[in-house]
Structure 1
Amino acid sequence: MAHEKRHAFSVPTCLLIALLSLASIATLWLAVSHVVDTEREQAIESTMQADANLAIAFEQDLIRTLKAAEQVAAFARKSYLLHGKAPDIRGWIKDHTIREHMFTILSVVDAQGRIIASTQDTPPEVNYSDRDFFTTQQHTKEDKLYVSRAVFGRVSHQWRIPMSLRITLDGGGFGGVVVIAIDPAYLTHFYQHTAKASQTNTLVQVLGADGYTRGSQIGGTMDFDHDARAQPWFIRAKTHPVGQFVTDLPDRIPRIISYRTLDQYPLTVVLGTPLDQAVAGASKRHNRYWIAAGLTTLALLAVAGLLTIILARQRASTLALLASEARLTHATRHDALTGLPNRVLFQERCQRALATAQRHRRLVAILYLDLDGFKSVNDEYGHASGDALLKQAAQRLLQQVRATSQDTVARFGGDEFAILLDDLHARADTERIIRDILAALSEPFTIKGTTVQLSASIGAVEYPQHGNTLDMLMGHADAAMYAAKKAGKNQFMWWSPTT
């Protein structure tokens, strides 16, 4: 007999322990996975913020460089127009009138493309009339610095980025250009003074509006005049001057891209931090998390096995089983996420309330409620944020019902809730509570530091006016709720035969 009782109790106990162990292990791994995902997202967000600030500094540094070049070119142009002859550019360099060493290649070119003054010795046969920096200024009336694509210098015999300023004669005629040629590396020299300079595979780029790079670095490798028209940041910059995103182009290395288009010049600065570097710190912690989760799983399994053996040999397993059954009973009658009664418990309470109302001729109201806009929040911020939002909504609903009454707030699943209002005196009491609920749910919700706005559509019925059975009342409340949603949301509607 003792043998039969012992085995009768041990079988469900072992099953319960196994299920709880598996549930605990699953919860553990899900929690670790959530932490890993969250920390990864935070690392990416942190890198994006840092890169956004760095891109602003990069943009400002490049603007200062271009403005300095424009001032030097404007100074040379003014001297040429004022005196009507070639300025002493070499003298300016010698006496440090021009102090920026990057601007030491400076030339004044007449309307026929001939060099009339330069910091370099120029053969008489050299002519710039076919150069892009010359023809662009020749066919425009705008007084703007033009940053050309890289060219191989006919005098310097080096690759340079020409920047030209138009010389406009009295009367508006074209009088030539002042051109400054700089090393492409100068455009990205800002990068060398940042903490990212030592990181491999970091992308730094200055991109022209024509889609060709004026200067580019990946790690320590320099590049220029690269066709970037197919790159996603060039395509996006056409409609969004500032942006951030993750891509695996151009060399199949995933990067966090931050770009900014300059207001004064048709150029875009681009920073690309390798994704693996951005999440490196988090990845190291994640490895420890997974190891800890594995060890904890082994410990849970060992504990579960030991507990099963102990409970199988003790009559105290009966108490553990009863406690477990009580917990399971509670779970079947309550919503796991919010702790509110579920559909089963709500219907039981409604049946009792209707029976009491029938005996004592009282009013009972049932509200069917659906959150407006919850799906878009859930899709945008994720299920974890959606769950947090549902918990907040549940608490707000509980605060609006009467604390001293038998009112019940229940969750049916998803973003659907039901409310039982018991022992009412008049319809005005119900409408007052409904308006309070609508106002409470219209207040902004805060999810992970982000504010979101929701509302609710509510369908309402009264017993006995709208039905004399629970199924009829629930069906009518559901129909009224959909009518309220269809009518524009953020409102309630009483059921009527025309609903």
Structure 2
Amino acid sequence: MGYLKNSVKKFKDDFFAKGIYDILKALGIFLVIYFTSTLLPKEFTILKFISTEYLIKLYCSFLYTILVFIIAFLIYNRIYRRKYKALQLDNFTDELTGLKNYKAINEYLIRTVQELNTGTKINSFSVIIIDVDNFKAFNSAFGHTKSDQILKSLGQLLNNDRRVTDETFRQFLRGDEFVVITKDTSLGEATKAAERKRKMIENNVFNIDEVFYKLTVSCGVTEFKKGDDTIDTFLNRASQALITAKNTLGKNNTKSHY
């Protein structure tokens, strides 16, 4: 979040430097004149102050300035919102896979927990952590370039295999773990979904530069316990389930912890 905040601060500084400051200054001058006039003696009321033709024109000019300010503010605010969303999307997107990255996981979980606690949008949610089996050995055998291409293809495969209520993330910047947050999904349903994804990956053939590779993955699954869990305890339990799956002979399996 620190990088995003600094980027937004820089954008705001640039945003206000391009015209907004001058418009605000003009508006400030008008407000000073207006409120100063109210302090004049009774015979110099604001109505009399603007009664001359010159002052009426001046007053209209200030009104025009306010109108321009409002229009400019609305335009710049629209531009700012668009650029902020683009900046946020870029900051929360994994460059290799196109999935949401590890920075986005916590933000997404905070919102999901709020949705669960209010009970207005979802009734439950679970997490699936997917880890590629023996990927360090694959990386050593075929190199970083091939490994990155495999992870990119795997990320696309997982992204295509998701429901509207699911969101898929890449766990770490240089890692081979993926996280799937499944809304309105119980532990049993999430375990079935994890098994489906595991079998899909096992049966898939990854074509990298006309060379074909096979992969297997292990999955750890858990469901968020409303009223008992924090985000940390929730993710830690899923990680423990994944460790159990990785320590199973042959790997390539799914384990769940309640």
TM-score normalised by L of structure 1: 0.33
Distance 1:422 1:398 in 2: 16
Look up the SS of the partner of 1:420 in the other structure.
Answer: strand
Asked if 1:434 corresponds to 2:203, the answer is no
Q: Is the 8 A contact 2:117 2:226 kept in 1?
A: no
1:327 Cα offset (Å): 4.7
2:222 to 451, 461, 482: 461
After superposition, give the CA deviation of every residue in 1:91-149 in whole Å (9 maximum; x if it has no partner): xxxxxxxxxxxxxxxxxxxxxxxxxxxxxxxxxxxxxxxxxxxxxxxxxxxxxxxxxxx
Look up the SS of the partner of 1:490 in the other structure.
Answer: coil
Q: Is the 8 A contact 1:458 1:493 kept in 2?
A: yes
Q: Is the 8 A contact 2:191 2:221 kept in 1?
A: no
Q: 1:418 to 1:466 in 2, by over 3 A?
A: farther
Bigger-Rg structure (1/2): 1
Q: 1:398 to 1:467 in 2, by over 3 A?
A: farther
Distance 2:246 2:180 in 1: 17
1:444 Cα offset (Å): 2.4
Q: Is the 8 A contact 1:371 1:456 kept in 2?
A: yes
Q: Is the 8 A contact 2:129 2:221 kept in 1?
A: yes
Among all aligned residue pairs of Structure 1 and Structure 2, give the percentage whose two residues are the same amino acid: 24
* Alignment correspondent of 2:107: 348
* Alignment correspondent of 2:145: 384
Q: 1:365 to 1:473 in 2, by over 3 A?
A: same
Distance 1:384 1:400 in 2: 25
1:467 Cα offset (Å): 5.0
Partner letter of residue 384 of structure 1?
Answer: T
Asked if 1:478 corresponds to 2:239, the answer is yes
Asked if 1:416 corresponds to 2:196, the answer is no
1:376 Cα offset (Å): 2.3
Alignment of 1:229-378 (within 5 A): 327-360=86-119, 362-378=123-139
Larger RCO of the pair (alpha carbons < 8 Å, separation 6+): 2
* Alignment correspondent of 1:490: 252
Q: 1:466 to 1:476 in 2, by over 3 A?
A: farther
Asked if 1:445 corresponds to 2:206, the answer is yes
Look up the SS of the partner of 2:184 in the other structure.
Answer: strand
Distance 2:118 2:189 in 1: 21
Distance 1:462 1:439 in 2: 21
TM-score normalised by L of structure 2: 0.61
Q: Is the 8 A contact 1:466 1:473 kept in 2?
A: no
1:478 Cα offset (Å): 1.0
Q: Is the 8 A contact 1:342 1:412 kept in 2?
A: yes
Look up the SS of the partner of 1:382 in the other structure.
Answer: helix
Distance 1:465 1:491 in 2: 27
After superposition, give the CA deviation of every residue in 1:19-54 in whole Å (9 maximum; x if it has no partner): xxxxxxxxxxxxxxxxxxxxxxxxxxxxxxxxxxxx
Partner letter of residue 116 of structure 2?
Answer: A
Structure (1/2) with the larger helix percentage = 2
Alignment RMSD (CA, Å) = 2.9
Distance 2:171 2:86 in 1: 20
Deviating above 4 A after TM superposition, structure 1's stretches of 4 or more consecutive aligned residues are 321-328
After superposition, give the CA deviation of every residue in 1:213-252 in whole Å (9 maximum; x if it has no partner): xxxxxxxxxxxxxxxxxxxxxxxxxxxxxxxxxxxxxxxx
Q: 1:369 to 1:467 in 2, by over 3 A?
A: farther
Q: Which runs of 5+ in 2 are unaligned?
A: 1-12, 18-75
* Alignment correspondent of 1:80: none
Q: Is the 8 A contact 2:187 2:222 kept in 1?
A: no
Q: Is the 8 A contact 1:458 1:484 kept in 2?
A: yes
Distance 1:401 1:9 in 2: 39
1:466 Cα offset (Å): 10
Alignment of 1:49-128 (within 5 A): none
1:430 Cα offset (Å): 1.4
Q: Is the 8 A contact 1:366 1:418 kept in 2?
A: yes
After superposition, give the CA deviation of every residue in 1:332-373 in whole Å (9 maximum; x if it has no partner): 211111111112222222222222223327221011121112
After superposition, give the CA deviation of every residue in 1:55-112 in whole Å (9 maximum; x if it has no partner): xxxxxxxxxxxxxxxxxxxxxxxxxxxxxxxxxxxxxxxxxxxxxxxxxxxxxxxxxx
Structure (1/2) with the larger strand percentage = 1
Q: 1:468 to 1:349 in 2, by over 3 A?
A: same
After superposition, give the CA deviation of every residue in 1:254-275 in whole Å (9 maximum; x if it has no partner): xxxxxxxxxxxxxxxxxxxxxx
Q: 1:466 to 1:382 in 2, by over 3 A?
A: farther
Look up the SS of the partner of 2:236 in the other structure.
Answer: helix
Look up the SS of the partner of 1:334 in the other structure.
Answer: coil
Distance 2:227 2:252 in 1: 22
Q: 1:440 to 1:358 in 2, by over 3 A?
A: same
Look up the SS of the partner of 1:438 in the other structure.
Answer: helix
Q: Is the 8 A contact 1:368 1:477 kept in 2?
A: yes
Q: Which runs of 5+ in 1 are unaligned?
A: 1-7, 13-317
Distance 1:466 1:335 in 2: 32
After superposition, give the CA deviation of every residue in 1:419-449 in whole Å (9 maximum; x if it has no partner): 100012x443212211111011112222222
Distance 1:346 1:466 in 2: 20
Partner letter of residue 194 of structure 2?
Answer: I
Partner letter of residue 96 of structure 2?
Answer: L
Q: Is the 8 A contact 1:373 1:454 kept in 2?
A: no
